[in-house]
Amino acid sequence: MKHKGFTLWFTGLSGAGKSTLSERVFEKLKLVGAKVELLDGDEVRTHLSKGLGFSKEDRDANVHRLGFVCQLLSRNGVIAIVAAISPYRETRDEVRAKIENFVEIYVHCPIEVLAERDVKGLYKRALAGEIAHFTGISDPYEPPTSPEIIVDSSLETLEQSEARVWAKLKELELYS
C-alpha cells in the first residue's frame, strides 16, 4: 500500500463509537501494509498525559500533546489515528492547522442513546448531577463545524460508518 502521512481525528462524546470505528480502520490499514499508529484517548491519558485532570486547560493540553505526536508521525509518512473526545473546537482547529493532511471524523450520537448504551451508568449519574465535569452534560462538547466526515452511530451500522471513512480517504487521494 502506498500512502501519504495523514491524521484521522475521531471526535465525539464518550461512548459514541470513536474507539470502535478507529480500531476497525486501524486494523484494516495494518492488514494492507500501511505504516499506521493508533492513539486512543484513554490510553494516552494513562501514559503521555498522565497527571492531567479534566479542567479546560488540562483537556486542551491533552489534545495539543496528541496533535504534536500526530504532526511528527504524519510528516514522516505514518498514518496517525486519534480517538479522543477532544471537546473544544478551537483546540481541535489549532491542531488541524499544524497538520498537513488532517481528516476530522465526527462520531455523533444523541445523549439519550448514549445513556441507554452506557453499561456503567455514567451518563445517568452525570445527568443526575452525581458526576462533575462530564463532557456533554456538565462540561461542554463543541461539535465540529465542518468535519470531513460525520457518522451517526445511532443510525448507521459500524460497516456503514467505516465505508464512509474509506470513501472519503479515496476521494482525498490519501492512499492507493
User: Has residue 49 been placed in a domain?
Assistant: yes
Query: Tell me, what amino acid is at 11?
Result: T
Which parts of the chain sit beneath pLDDT 70?
Answer: 1, 49
User: Has residue 106 been placed in a domain?
Assistant: yes
- Quick: pLDDT tens for 126-152: 999 999 889 999 999 999 999 999 999
User: Has residue 15 been placed in a domain?
Assistant: yes
Q: What predicted TM-score, i.e. pTM, was given to this entire model?
A: 0.94
| Cβ atoms 12, 108 nearer than 8 A | yes
What is the domain-level CATH number for residue 106? 3.40.50.300
Query: Tell me, what amino acid is at 24?
Result: R
User: Has residue 17 been placed in a domain?
Assistant: yes
User: Has residue 105 been placed in a domain?
Assistant: yes
Instruction: Check residue 102 and give its pLDDT.
Output: 98
End-to-end CA gap in the chain: 6
Instruction: Check residue 67 and give its pLDDT.
Output: 96
CB atoms closer than 10 angstroms to residue 173: 10
Could you give the CA distance from residue 41 to residue 63 in angstroms, rounded to a whole number?
9
Query: Tell me, what amino acid is at 135?
Result: T
Total structural domains in the chain?
1
User: Has residue 1 been placed in a domain?
Assistant: no
Our answer to whether residue 153 is catalytic in this structure is no
Q: Which domain holds residue 57?
A: 6-171
CA diameter of the chain: 50
Which residue carries 441507554 as its cell? Answer: 116
User: Has residue 82 been placed in a domain?
Assistant: yes
Instruction: Check residue 1 and give its pLDDT.
Output: 65
Record the cell numbers describing residue 128, joined without a space. Answer: 443526575
Instruction: Check residue 119 and give its pLDDT.
Output: 84
Looking at 86, 138, 154, 176, which residue is catalytic? 86
